[in-house]
Structure formats: C-alpha cells, structure tokens
Amino acid sequence: MDSNPNPSQAGHMDAIYRTQRHFYDLTRKYYLLGRDRLIRRLDPPKGGSVIEIGCGTGRNLIAAARAWPEARFYGIDISEAMLETARAKVAKAGLTDRITLAQGDATEFDAQGLFGIATFDRVFQSYTLSMIPDWRGALREGAGKLAPGGRLDLVDFGQQEKLPRAWRAFLYSWLRKFDVSPRGDMKAAIDEVAGGIGASGEFISLYRGYAWAGSIGQTER
C-alpha cells in the first residue's frame, strides 16, 4: 500500500487552503453542522484508538480528545498546509502526547507505517467525502481501518431536501467554488461498504437535510 499522497491532489488542496487555513475554523463553525454531534457520539472504549481521516486544522481532533480523555487520537490529511496549522493548534492545546498527525491520502494510506497501528476503534470523516474525488474509495478505506467491534462515523452536506429550493441552489453554487460536491447517493454507498465487510450501516438526515450523518459498525470476531 502506498503511503505517499497523490502529488497533484495534495498540491491542489494546499493551494485551496494555504490562505483559508488561517481563518478556516472561525468561518466553518457556522455551516459545518453536525460535527459536535459526531464527537459526542464517538464513545471510544477506555484506552481506545480514534482516527480522523481528513483532519484539516485539527479542530475536531482537539475537541474529541478533550471530550474523551482516555483515548488516543490520530489524524491524516492530504494537505501539508492544513497539517502545519493542525500541529500548531494541537501543540497550543497541550495535546501532542495524545494526538498524532501525518500526511496521507484518504483513499489509500498505510496506518501501520504512519502510526504503528493498523486498525482503530473509531474512525471518523467529517465534511471530507464531499471534497474527495474518489469519495467511495475513501469510505471503503475508512471502513477497512476498523478494528473488531469498531465503528466509522461520518457527517457531510446533505441534499437540503426539506429546505427552500432557492437555498439549495445558493449553497451548491457557493460550495462549487471550493470544489465541494454533496454526495446524493451517500446512503447507498454506506450500505454497500457496510455489506462488503459484513457490518451494519446507519444513515440519518439532520437539520432538514442540511447535513447527512451515517455510521458503519464492525462486529466482534
């Protein structure tokens, strides 16, 4: 398995976030809804391991590490620019002993090589699938990193199905400026990936369809 991220994709993401990373968290808290709900529901086992795929500035990992102090946390992102910000934030939060970061491609990464651990009790993907061209591959990769009894949790943009049509048109037009594409067949993909590893999939629409959330639960072996 190749641990090196796709150079063109990594460069593209660095170009997008080289400037945005400095004010990313301040702006995103108003429209990346459902992230804190996901963190509250993680519930990793005592001494367990948690990885965020597409960790960005480290905001979610820091919040999760504070919420679940008996777990260890890991994060990958394809953008070295974002990881630079994440490392600084983790250090400022005093959590370098519990949060480990590395550059990696969400669709294929060697967790053993990067972190010395191959599987995780919890995997989560927060507003990343809508930015990854091979998002189904990223979903499969995340599910493939589950330890026995583990669970993958995700949240991302929904289809705005119960919101005004004009709002949906505005939001989608704005998101396209950042290469963000909400995935209309997310539920089907969750079910397919879950079935492929003998796990169960769950899906829920949040905030009148503004966000969609889901999970894939692995059974003990």
- Mean pLDDT check: name the lowest of 2-6, 40-44, 126-130: 2-6
Please check the confidence at residue 27 and state whether its pLDDT lies above 90.
no
- Tokens at 22, concatenated: 């400095």
What's the rounded mean pLDDT across residues 131-156?
Answer: 97
C-beta separation of 42 from 130 below 8 A: no
- Please report the pLDDT score of residue 148 as a whole number: 96
Please check the confidence at residue 10 and state whether its pLDDT lies above 60.
no
Beta bridge partners of 206: 211
Neighbours of 12 (CB within 10 A): 15
What does R_g of the chain's alpha carbons equal in angstroms?
A: 16
Strands across the sheet with 146-157, in order? 99-103, 72-77, 49-53, 120-126, 146-157, 211-217, 200-206
- Mean pLDDT check: name the lowest of 23-32, 35-44, 142-151: 23-32
- pTM of this prediction? 0.87
Tell me the C-alpha distance between 18 and 7, whole Å.
16
Domains of the chain with CATH codes:
7-217 (3.40.50.150)
- Mean pLDDT check: name the lowest of 6-20, 30-44, 157-171, 200-214: 6-20
Tell me the C-alpha distance between 152 and 121, whole Å.
9
Q: Is 137 helix (H, G, I), strand (E, B) or coil?
A: helix
Q: Is 87 helix (H, G, I), strand (E, B) or coil?
A: helix
Please check the confidence at residue 152 and state whether its pLDDT lies above 60.
yes
Whether the CA torsion 173, 177, 180, 181 is positive or negative: it is positive
